[in-house]
Chain A
């Protein structure tokens, strides 16, 4: 479903690609697809309507900057509008402070508390945790086990039923520490007693930050819940959890819009290290289902040294087995091919499905086979006849069939790249393209 969605978004962008004059109908279509993309990412429907309105007006009204085409123009506006929403300055200072965690049941507060403790601990701060969850059985066991693993003092008492008393005692016990994180029980906005409780905890702790933990899968409720939490304790930051699933985290966007705060951290895994500072680029790409431009750029830089893969030579049609070998090696570092292609915002490029079918184990096999080839064969695969094929197969411990398959794959890649060159009108340059998109903000 998401595939088809991002395809339609890409199709809409494709229509704008070659244009130098803004086409009202095409912009309208793009805005419509954009709305669908955002809604299916769980962004609040009203927010989507407001956003798309301003994107539409800006796209039509603003002058097309010199040297850009309509697609880039519109994409940049989309990007800017979204960044404006999520990128409120959320400085995380390394100074003495108290952090109060709030959120719905099961959103991941306790896990995130431990992750945060670890994060600040690694930055060299003395951290302590107060477990003010007096309701859920096992809550104290959970946080104290996690804290023990990283040697962070954890204050709590599973027998105490008064969260306020616990918090007071905890603050007293941990007063020598620089940073105290208060984990609270999950609650939702309609539980008046619990909302009152967290207001009082907030008063007692005089918390420096009050962060709202939002499950990436949270839907339209995000706005309402965030608003009520904000009314109660003045939320000044949002943490998105469970970003390692398939959820897009649109609820968090609704929440920051509602609380006028920013996204502080992203949790994306079950181990205590799986917490990252928020990066708007990756998040927005994911919301739009268009691939993570910035992350790709970074990973590409890490994986490929400039001289390793000569993209331009490849585009000129000079693509040998040697190039493919390097490519497979680089791809291995970057992740599966389909993912990488998905990350590139190339609406005008269609790869045949067969290209994707090469799984990572296959890639390894291919590389082993290529290791058994002579350099002559690598430079000119046409040399490989059936007797050479026999030899290569024997050398690589595989079968001639597999070698044949490799040659077939090579030919397909070669054809594809030639096709690309045609489609991109000779302008296609992967590096330049990436650079352009990374400089968009």
Chain B
């Protein structure tokens, strides 16, 4: 999914790299005897040959070994605004983009760097630390289940049409393959066809489902699902809920009631990878009202650039657990931030 973002970031990275390179070149000639920047070793020494005579050897030594370069804000502004565009085009929300740019800027501007360190590494380092900081750590569900009392109750929330029901089915199938017993609570009692939908999924992957009729109280359904899991010694309860907008206070308080009644161990917030700036607004609101312990990002196969992952992680500071990458049950992959960042920026540095 992050293919698009990767391309863009690679380009931005080259741009940043070259702008720093230029900065060094332009800084070198006027003040070779100060501690101001020197270019890459070869061009620096060529320039100093022309101006220096007696202490040439010293100078070369200083240039090559002791020189530090100072990166100024001016050198970066153009490249950073390009990086900003890149992030925006990749659906990273505006506020989050601002934060990342600021991070990269403070990390680069005014820093004295040894000339020995390659410029490329410098830039990659700054970007990488910015992205890693934003993405935080992944969330290892299997490990979580291992270390917690059974049944582990997981509640899925999110706005309409992000793919909660499909995600529940996928995670159910994933856990079943890992050898856990699973029960699904059909907590979407509102949308027409929702109970049928999750029912068919559960039937196909061979998981028990607890359901009431359409229009029933979702808290009651999910409570029953938990009771069933307790009495049948089932490992994991996956609680599906109806999609709801964070602006509908009645639906949000219904969700709160569900949380009170079934006391989930994990609240998983589901959103789609193609969402734009609103991802930030609604993630924050869900996190504020019913909390969120982990995030699942769906529809990551839609050629999206993955900005939503960065936006959401940055806004609510909760780890990403899974990425949904297609319509099949096996199309779900655990999210590993280090791997994603490596993939985005190349693992060479």
Chain A interface residues toward B at CB < 8 A? 1-2, 5, 36, 39-42, 45-46, 104-108, 110, 135-143, 145-146, 188-190, 215-221, 224-225, 241-242, 244-248, 250-251, 270
| Residues of chain B having any CB pair with chain A under 8 Å | 85, 88-91, 93-95, 159-163, 190-201, 214, 245-248, 272, 274-282, 285, 298-299, 301-305, 307-308, 327
Expressed in whole angstroms, the Cα–Cα distance for A167 and B303 within the complex equals 29
In the complex the two chains form, is B193's CB within 8 Å of A140's CB? yes
- Please report the C-alpha to C-alpha distance between residue A135 and residue B298 in the assembled complex, in whole angstroms: 17
Q: Is the CB of B161 within 8 A of A141?
A: no
Chain A: minimal CB distance from B124 (Å): 24
Distance between Cα atoms of A108 and B201 in the complex (Å): 20
Cα distance A36–B272 when bound, in Å?
23
Residues of B within 8 A of A2 (CB): 281
Give every chain A residue within 8 A of B275 (Cβ-Cβ).
215, 217-219, 247
Given B196, B272, B280, which contacts A1 in the complex, CB threshold below 8 Å? B280
A29 to chain B, nearest CB (A): 16
Closest to B285 in A: A246
Kindly report which residue of chain A lies nearest to residue B201, judged by CB atoms.
Answer: A137
Instruction: Select A141's contact among B89, B193, B285, beta carbons within 8 Å.
Output: B193
- Choose from B94, B245, B280, B327 the contact partner of A39 (Cβ within 8 Å): B94
Task: Count chain B CB atoms within 10 A of each CB in A142, A219, A244 and give the residue with the most.
Answer: A219
Q: Are B302 and A138 in contact (CB under 8 A)?
A: no
Partner of B277, one of A41, A108, A142: A41
List 14 extra interface pairs beyond A143-B192, A220-B88, CB under 8 A. A45-B88, A105-B163, A105-B327, A106-B161, A106-B162, A106-B163, A139-B197, A141-B196, A190-B301, A217-B159, A217-B279, A221-B91, A242-B161, A245-B282
Determine the chain A residues whose CB is within 8 A of the CB of B248 once the complex forms.
244
Query: Most chain-B CB neighbours within 10 Å: which of A36, A139, A143, A220?
Result: A220
Shortest distance between the CB of B308 and any CB in chain A (Å): 7
**A188 with B303: CB separation less than 8 A:** yes
A42 and B91 alpha carbons, distance in the complex (Å): 8
Q: How far is the CA of A40 from the CA of B276 in the complex (A)?
A: 8
**Chain A residues within 8 Å of B285, by CB:** 246
Contact yes or no, B163 A36, CB < 8 A? no
Docked-complex contact A1 and B95, CB < 8 angstroms: yes
Partner of A36, one of B94, B200, B281: B94
Chain B nearest CB from A298 CB (Å) reads: 22
B247 engages A246 (CB within 8 Å): yes
Q: A188-B303, A220-B90 are in contact. Are A248 and B163 (CB under 8 A)?
A: no
With CB as the reference atom, state the residue of chain A lying closest to B251: A270
Check A250–B299 contact: CB distance below 8 A. Answer: no
Q: Would you mind naming 8 contact pairs between A and B with Cβ atoms under 8 Å apart?
A: A40-B95, A45-B88, A108-B160, A137-B199, A142-B196, A215-B161, A217-B275, A246-B282
B90 CB contacts on chain A under 8 angstroms? 220
With both beta carbons as reference points, the residue of chain B lying nearest to A135 in the complex is identified as B327
Least CB distance, A250 to chain B, in whole angstroms? 7
> A219 contacts B91, CB within 8 Å?
yes
